[in-house]
Each structure stands twice: as C-alpha cells, then as structure tokens.
Chain A
C-alpha cells in the first residue's frame, strides 16, 4: 500500500480518484489543485506515487512532471488523461511518466495500473 498525492484541477476528479484509491487500501496524503500546487506538495510530502492530470491551469501536467522529475528522478508519476491526448502522452513518456489512467475512471483499471506501477 502506498502514500499517494493526487494532482488535478477538478475537485470531482480528485474526489472520485481518492475514493477508488482509498478503497484499494492506499493513503492519500495530499491533493494538488494545479500543476504548480502539485509540484510544491510533492516536495513537501514526498509521496510514494503521484497521479498527475495532464490538462491543468498554471502549470500543466507535463510541466509539473518535468519539475518533479528534476527534484527526484526516481519519482513514480502516473499521468491522468482525458482520452485522445496522444501527443501529450508521448511527451509524458519522454519525460519519465510510468503509466497512464484514462478518464472517465474505471475503478478496476485504476487499481490495476497503480498496483502494477507499485510492484
């Protein structure tokens, strides 16, 4: 089980993801409401894993990913994406994202991806 930081500008999305991950036994140690906030929370909380939405104001998910990786190159970052953001997915892989979760959330898929990454 892991300490997870959720970063997403949508309250709804954070809440649904929190419920899925808590049901799977993980602990949500913090939430970031945009890319900049997510990066600051990462430095402060040092989670085992971060979920990072791609489409966010201030810093988007790719920019936040780059900062997090600069801070800790071994950081486990799972990108959250509305389907169809192929270009962004390629950029995220290039910058070290380990996996993707697509919205709308399918709880079983979310749990599978997270447990695969944590192994």
Chain B
C-alpha cells in the first residue's frame, strides 16, 4: 500500500510519470533492498559513505555490513537492525526508484518531507505509513476516531487486499451525507449497532473488482457484475460480524442490494473512503447506527 500512496504522490507532483510509476510497481516485485539504501534512509550513513563502501566491495570479498563496521560507519547492532528491514515495502519501493535511475533515497526522503507537510502527518504517522501495515496506516486516513468504523473499514480493506487487489491504496476518508455514483451495491447489517456498508463507482470503475472477485470477465458494470460486488460486501460484513461475535455481539446480515441506475448514495452521516483498486477509483462507504440508501 505504501508504495502506491508514495508513488501516486510523486506522479501528482510531476516527479515521475504515470508510466514510470506503473513500471516501478511491476519491477519492485523482483527487487532486493541493498543494506546501504536502508542505512541512508535511516540516517545512519550518507550517500557518499555508502558509495565508498560499494566501491570497496568491488575489490574486497566482504559483505557491505562487514565493511561498514570496519570503517566505523555502523555498529554490529545497527547492521543487524538494518538487515531486518530488508523486506520493508517502502524501502523496496525506494530501491526500485534508485535502480530505475529515477530518484536516490536521499532525494526520495526530501519528497517525503513535502509529503508529510502536505498531509499534516507527524513523524510517528510517517513511521506508521512506512510500516506498510494496514492497521497502522488506516487510522491516518480516517476522518474521525472510533474503533467501530476502524474495524469495519479495516475488515473491508484487508478483505479487498486478500480477495481482489494486493496493491490497493486509499485516499483520505471524509464524512458525507451524499456521494455521487452511477452504480453500486449496499448491504444492511442489523444488531447491537446497525451497520450499512456500500461500494460504489462511476462509469465502469467497479468492473475490474467485480471481474476479479466474481472470477468472470464481465463486459460492463451490469447487474451480474454488481451481484459480484454485493457478494464481496457480504463477505466483508460477514467477517466484521464474526469479529463482533467474539465479543458476544450478534448481527444479522440482510441480502445485499445493487443497482446500475443510481445518482449516488445518501445518509444522515457516513464515512466515505476513496479506494484505488486495479487502476480504478471507487468509493467504500460505511454508516454505523445510520442507514445508507441508494438514490
């Protein structure tokens, strides 16, 4: 998720092109992060120092970490800690940017300072973002605090990652009474707290998600495709209800409803989270103790 969030920020700010970004996402699956890049990202070494170690590596049969320790740039403990970070998604993205000669880690870190300022994030928020852990990232993008919404939206995003698109990412959620859409599905769940969850799109935006989840190439967002979206909501709400049932709360799921002829959805108050799934922007909406209706 973090590579998509940061990558799109770089595209929006004309640092890289959309094509370069798509290449990066493809390439990053093959990339192994170098220890030097992590050391620079962590502020333990400068780019110059890592370049020097890299040069020495070409004439010495030694690992980067061993040379860095010998030269006094890093301690053994630091090398150990850096090695543990090699699988970190943010660093893999940074390494891919560097491999493609688009940005060095130092340049990327400069843009991350702008990103932090633009998003009004704290240092700790940035650490949460770079962790690539959905449970740590999601609170940064929620418009209000509250465990119930966090659990519901979190269940939705984890299910979408597992069943539809592992590269999904989100934009800042917001509170709304209305959200424009051409089509979508909605499901009501009754219990201690009444919950409505909806997934909507404009034009053909829901098509890729419907096709992947429904395991069928739908020609357009028709009622069959929306049935798949409804079924996806059913799975999300079922998992959410399971989590609640562990705390003794019983919920009843109603059959999902869907329509290809709406102008939007409305509620007294709902949270709307824009999601980017398989290259399309859709909206996930949730209301607790309020009902969402298709309009």
Contacts and interface: CB of A to CB of B under 8 A. Distances in A.
Given A103-B235, A104-B235, 6 more contacts: A82-B234, A82-B235, A84-B237, A84-B251, A84-B253, A103-B231
State which size class the interface on B falls in: 20 to 34
B245 A84 contact: yes
A57 B255 contact: yes
B241 interface: yes
Interface in B102-158: none
Q: Is the interface of A mostly helix, strand, loop or mixed?
A: mixed
A85 to B, nearest CB: 6
26 contacts: A9-B255, A10-B227, A10-B256, A12-B214, A12-B227, A12-B228, A13-B231, A16-B214, A16-B215, A55-B253, A55-B255, A57-B255, A82-B253, A83-B235, A83-B239, A83-B241, A83-B242, A84-B242, A84-B244, A84-B251, A84-B253, A85-B241, A85-B252, A85-B253, A87-B252, A104-B163
Contacts of A10: 227, 230-231, 234, 256
Given A82-B235, A82-B238, A83-B242, A56 B255 contact: yes
B224 interface: yes
Interface string A61-96: 000000000000000000001111111100000000
Nearest to A87: B250
Interface of B: 159, 163, 213-216, 224, 227-228, 230-231, 234-235, 237-245, 250-256
B238 A83 contact: yes
A12 B213 contact: yes
Nearest to A104: B235
B225 to A, nearest CB: 9
Contacts, number: 71
A19 interface: yes
A81 B238 contact: yes
A103 B214 CA distance: 13
A91 B145 CA distance: 36
A60 to B, nearest CB: 9
The 8 closest A-B pairs by CB, nearest first: A82-B238, A84-B241, A84-B242, A83-B238, A83-B242, A12-B228, A12-B214, A12-B231
A11 interface: yes
Interface string A10-36: 111101100100000000000000000
B234 to A, nearest CB: 5
Nearest to A16: B215
Contacts of B228: 12
B239 A84 contact: yes
Contact of A82 (B215, B224, B241): B241
A83 B230 CA distance: 15
A55 B234 contact: yes
Contacts of A9: 255
Contacts of A86: 245, 250
A52 to B, nearest CB: 14
Nearest to B223: A11
A110 to B, nearest CB: 14
Nearest to B238: A82
A75 B227 CA distance: 29
A96 to B, nearest CB: 21
A103 B159 CA distance: 12
